[in-house]
Amino acid sequence: MYTPSPDRYSTEVMQFNRCGRSGVLLPKVSLGFWHNFGSVDPYERSREITRYAFDHGITHFDLANNYGPVYGSAEETMGRLMDDTFRPLRDELFISTKAGYDMWPGPYGNWGSRKYLMASLDQSLKRMHLDYVDLFYSHRYDPETPLDETLQALVDIVRAGKALYVGISRWPLQALQVADEYLRARDVPLLIYQGRLNLLDREPQEQGILDYCATHGIGFISFSPLAQGLLTDRYLQGVPADSRMARGKFLKPENLTPELVEKIRSYNATAATRGETLAEMALAWILHQKGVTSVLVGASSTAQLQKNLQCIHAKPFTTPL
Ligand SMILES: NC(=O)c1ccc[n+]([C@@H]2O[C@H](COP(=O)([O-])OP(=O)(O)OC[C@H]3O[C@@H](n4cnc5c(N)ncnc54)[C@H](OP(=O)(O)O)[C@@H]3O)[C@@H](O)[C@H]2O)c1
């Protein structure tokens, strides 16, 4: 039996930002299920992390059809969590999922067709033991499928009551503009854009995506805000055996060049002068960029999450990083 902390909505614990020009408030820190919530991970630890998150005002959990490993298993973990923890709290949660990457064999299990998106969301809802998600994303831009087809599928998913809002992730600026106009014209405004923005990767700023979102009332959520752990103390002294880099699939040891280590150490020194950890400063920096709604962190322990949550109290930046 789980009783959530009564302090979870105190502003000392969590603060919320309005998501673009919508009615939705999202916590400044959201939790992603890409890693650490699959069938290869201990369920008890996944449950401990999510309960800790919810106790600290993290109302937004972000999933995708292919999160695991194995594919689909992070959503199955969410389904178990609904059953043993969160069912009575469903209306306090904002749950997202996505489709866009290879999910099942053959031509209908990938990219952006109506056929794929519709079938994938139905599968996701079954795995998560949910009737609807709060937010459904096109996970990536598909240069082959007409944008109208992908976008109309998003509209129809909302009209069918399977998602309350829609978002897009990693779409180029021009396609973002098409999506914004198409969806707005059909009264299903684009709620949010999910992109990678962190101290080491500023593409959404450089490409004008953040500006577009801020100007057009679309929220922006930053994924991999810690660059998968690079912007923490994790790799300052080599590669720990239990780290994502040691697993080597998405973060590879060969990418940890001397120049990168130098850069991370320099950010770490700056964080120390601010009286903060590197992770805290890295997250705070994102939250201080104009147009950012939330940072979407991953965590392999409650201790990491606890440290990361300190970012909501960070002081402003007087000099640009
Ligand atoms: N839309 C997309 O295409 C896309 C792509 C990627 C991610 N996402 C979303 O973004 C979410 C977050 O991505 P991410 O996991 O890459 O985020 P991240 O926050 O940049 O990295 C999380 C990892 O960093 C390490 N870490 C976190 N806090 C730490 C701390 N305080 N001290 C030391 N190490 C720490 C942990 O790795 P260890 O395992 O080494 O402990 C943790 O698993 C995903 O779950 C997913 O929801 C979306």
Quote the pLDDT of residue 43: 98
Quote the pLDDT of residue 151: 98
Alpha carbon nearest to ligand 1 atom 28, residue: 304
Alpha carbon nearest to ligand 1 atom 1, residue: 169
Q: Where are the domains of the chain?
A: 16-232+279-313, 234-276
**pLDDT digits 0-9 by tens, 77-128:** 999 999 999 999 999 999 999 999 999 999 999 999 999 999 999 999 999 9
**pLDDT digits 0-9 by tens, 173-215:** 999 999 999 999 999 999 999 999 999 999 999 999 999 999 9
Pairing of strands 25-27, 16-18: antiparallel
Share of the chain above pLDDT 70, in %: 100
| Spatial contact of 65 and 123, defined as CB atoms under 8 Å apart | yes
Residue 171 buriedness (CB in 10 A; 0-12 / 13-18 / 19+): buried
Quote the pLDDT of residue 188: 98
- pTM of the prediction? 0.98
Ligand 1 centre and the CA of 195: distance in Å?
13
Rounded to the nearest integer, the mean pLDDT of the chain is 97
Ligand 1 centre and the CA of 54: distance in Å?
17
Give the pair of three-digit tokens for residue 210: 């953040």
Q: Which residues line ligand 1 (CB under 6 A)?
A: 32-36, 62, 139, 169-170, 194, 223-229, 232, 234, 243-244, 279, 296-300, 304, 307-308
CATH of the domain spanning 16-232+279-313: 3.20.20.100
Within 13 Å and on the Cβ side, how many CA atoms surround 247? 12
Measured distance CA(309)–CA(295) in Å, rounded: 10
Question: Mapping DSSP to helix (H, G, I), strand (E, B) and coil, where does residue 196 land?
Answer: strand
| Spatial contact of 204 and 230, defined as CB atoms under 8 Å apart | no
Residue 228: what residue type? Q
**pLDDT digits 0-9 by tens, 232-256:** 999 999 999 999 999 989 999 999 9
